[in-house]
Structure 1
Amino acid sequence: MGWHYSISGLLYVSFGYKSEITTFPDSSNPDILAYIELGEPTLVTADEQMLFDAIFN
């Protein structure tokens, strides 16, 4: 997966949720590259928080 999908997933995790990413879900609509859905609540690990802080602060 591309870095932008990873960053999107990291954003969800940093706010305490898993994310479900489905890439290229509809070949009839090429403008949509992926669907990103809010998943189950989860705890943020120290590594995930450190990565989020390094990128967005």
Structure 2
Amino acid sequence: MTSDLVFHMRSHHKKEFAAESQVRRRREEKLTCPICHEYFRERHHLSRHMTSHN
């Protein structure tokens, strides 16, 4: 069951999950528009978006 796997991963691999979520959070901060706070999954999408604020 998926829920069993999730329980196992959370209980036995907490540090790995915490590190992974910190990396994801930092990546999201880097790819967030500083003006309207919209998030982008790729850097070039953010770059293209920034031209809309000019």
* TM-score, with length taken from structure 1: 0.29
With a CA cutoff of 8 Å and minimum separation of 6, indicate the structure with the bigger relative contact order: 1
More strand by share: 1
More helix by share: 2
